[in-house]
Chain A
Amino acid sequence: MNKGRDTFFLQITRLAALSIVFIIIVMAHELFRGSELAFSRFGLGFLTGSEWDPVHGKFGSWPLIYGTLVSSLVALALAVPLSLGVAIFLAELAPPWLREPLSFLVELLAAIPSVVYGLWGLFVLVPWLRDVVQPLLGKTLGFLPLFQGPPLGVGMLAAGMVLAIMILPIITAVSREVLLAVPQSQREAMLALGATRWETIRRAVLPYGRSGIIGAIILGLGRALGETMAVTMVIGNRPQVSASLFDLGQTIASVIANEFSEGFDELHLSALIASALLLFIITFSVNIIARLLVWKVSISQGVSRD
């Protein structure tokens, strides 16, 4: 009888595990089914078309893809040096009593809801960008096409900055773990050769953890690409391709948040679901690459430890 109960328990847990497979299948099925209309109407033009105009029934998603990529790249450009600095400080340099409280604070950043980042971005970051940062950038670096145009506050730059703050904790946390996993012998060998502490970090520790750190960065990228609320609140929501970071933009996630509940004609809804499918495929691939990289590090560690 006990045996029977055991098998029953096993089957229940297996059923629960299958629910995840079921969810993913339903998800993929719904996204493909919903986007059929848009893809059959526009074909590949859906990806390359540069006009997203629901009123006239024109749906080219290039401005959305562009906005998604550029805002995420701005976020990476700002967040990567900072996160690596914090991770190196936490893993290698900080006095032991400081390490845990600091890691805790950085993790708190990750727990704040995205809509609160948006609220803060809209009422604190945007005015600061408009009144201080953008005029200053325009005056000093205004010859670059990146920093031209009137300082509006909202726009691509604001979105990139909010995203940078939001992905900082994950990049920091994962790279810190990667650095902590570098074997002590690597450091000792370098120090024994007469290297300074900094030379040890730069020549021994960072190269050893390189693929793990790249994995951490790509994991942050995956987070940034799909982030919705905070971006929707500060990016200005205008689907356009513009070289200047001062200009308004739109991302795939933000266009869905803005238009999905208003889009009543079938083609519009289908175009939105098709862009959701694009986002699904992009974040899926990015996450897989990141996992493989981080995974590779942990495997090679396992081998060297044995």
Chain B
Amino acid sequence: MLFLTVLATGIALVPLASILVYVGIKGLPALNWEFFTQLPKAVGEPGGGLANAILGTIILVLLAAGIALPLGILTGIYLAEFGKDRLAPTVRFLCDVLTGVPSIIVGIVVYSTVVLTMKRFSALAGGIALAIIMLPLVARSTEEMLRLVPHSLREASLALGATQGRTIRSVVLRSALGGIVTGAMLATARVAGETAPLLFTALNSRYWPTGLDERIASLPVYIFTYSTTPYEDLHRLAWGAALVLVSMVLGTSIAARLAAKKVNGGK
């Protein structure tokens, strides 16, 4: 029976290996100076790059993080430190509900609220959609990290005459900082690869980003559109984009985990 479980583990790792190998082999030849500096060419013209999509993804992720990190961390603080009333269990429950909502539905909701109100597709709408996906992840990971802080630390600070707010800000948050940063990085990596919520919010663009109220290109949306066309040239660019995206996402999540281990190991 040991053999069967080893077999299962082996089979489970085959797709992981296959995906990483293919993304590497097919993506690497597409990456050159042009890829990182040029705009996409019109269909049929050879060459061109996805520089605008790389920049667009970075802008979208920064927007999402700018909205979701403060909100999520404050929510986490509320859940872990203050939430003794009836609101806390409700929020915790709704966090779990929101985590389970398919990302395409977030796209629809942001479309019918933000996009229809602004009367245009925009980077801002895309950022909001990604932020909604990120928010519950950040809130719950922050809450868990704060709960790991030993009570004796809080009591020591209170005994010194600090108020509860002061204790949270200077003692509890400080000692949970490593964990909170790890959670934030994992959540950022997660939304960087999201495609579905961008389809009807940020849409796509062939040009450089010009403003937050304009539609904006992103790597995931380009991978989707290029891979579903019949052109070899665009498939090549899609693999290149996948390699860049996977490196960004896996790089961030591996770094986050290593950092977490270091913090925990140091204690």
Q: Which A residues form the contact surface with B (CB < 8 A)?
A: 2-3, 5-6, 9-10, 12-21, 23-24, 26-27, 30-31, 34, 81-86, 88-90, 93, 102, 104-109, 111-120, 122-124, 165, 168, 172, 198, 201, 222, 225-229, 232-233, 253, 256-257, 260-261, 272-273, 276, 279-280, 283-284, 286-288, 291
Contact = CB atoms under 8 A, between A and B. Distances in A.
A116 B164 contact: no
B82 A86 contact: no
Interface of B: 1-2, 4-9, 11-13, 15-16, 18-19, 22-23, 26, 70-72, 74-75, 77-79, 81-83, 87-88, 90-91, 94-98, 100-109, 111-113, 132, 135-136, 139, 163-166, 168-169, 189-190, 192-196, 199-200, 203, 220, 223-224, 227-228, 235, 238-239, 242, 245-246, 249-250, 253-254, 257
A66 B164 CA distance: 54
A34 B200 CA distance: 15
A212 B90 CA distance: 23
Contacts of B98: 20, 23-24
Contact of B5 (A13, A34, A89, A123): A89
Contacts of A256: 104, 108
B91 A111 contact: no
Contact of B108 (A83, A84, A260, A287): A260
Contacts of A3: 163
B242 A116 contact: yes
A203 to B, nearest CB: 13
Q: Interface SS of chain A: helix, strand, loop or mixed?
A: helix
A108 B102 contact: no
B97 A119 contact: no
A245 B114 CA distance: 39
Contacts of B11: 82
Contacts of B254: 108
Contacts of B199: 257, 260-261
A198 B11 CA distance: 21
Contacts of A286: 100
Contact of A276 (B79, B104, B227, B246): B104
A117 to B, nearest CB: 7
A261 B224 CA distance: 14
B139 A30 contact: no
A119 B15 contact: no
A13 B75 contact: yes
A263 to B, nearest CB: 10
A17 B16 CA distance: 37
Contacts of A31: 105, 108-109
A86 B223 contact: no
Given A5-B165, A16-B71, A228-B196, A284 B132 contact: no
A233 B224 contact: yes
16 contacts: A13-B75, A13-B81, A17-B75, A19-B71, A24-B98, A27-B109, A34-B112, A84-B8, A85-B8, A86-B12, A89-B6, A105-B16, A112-B16, A116-B19, A123-B227, A253-B104
A14 B227 contact: no
Contacts of A232: 224
Nearest to B99: A287
Given A111-B249, A111-B250, A89 B9 contact: yes
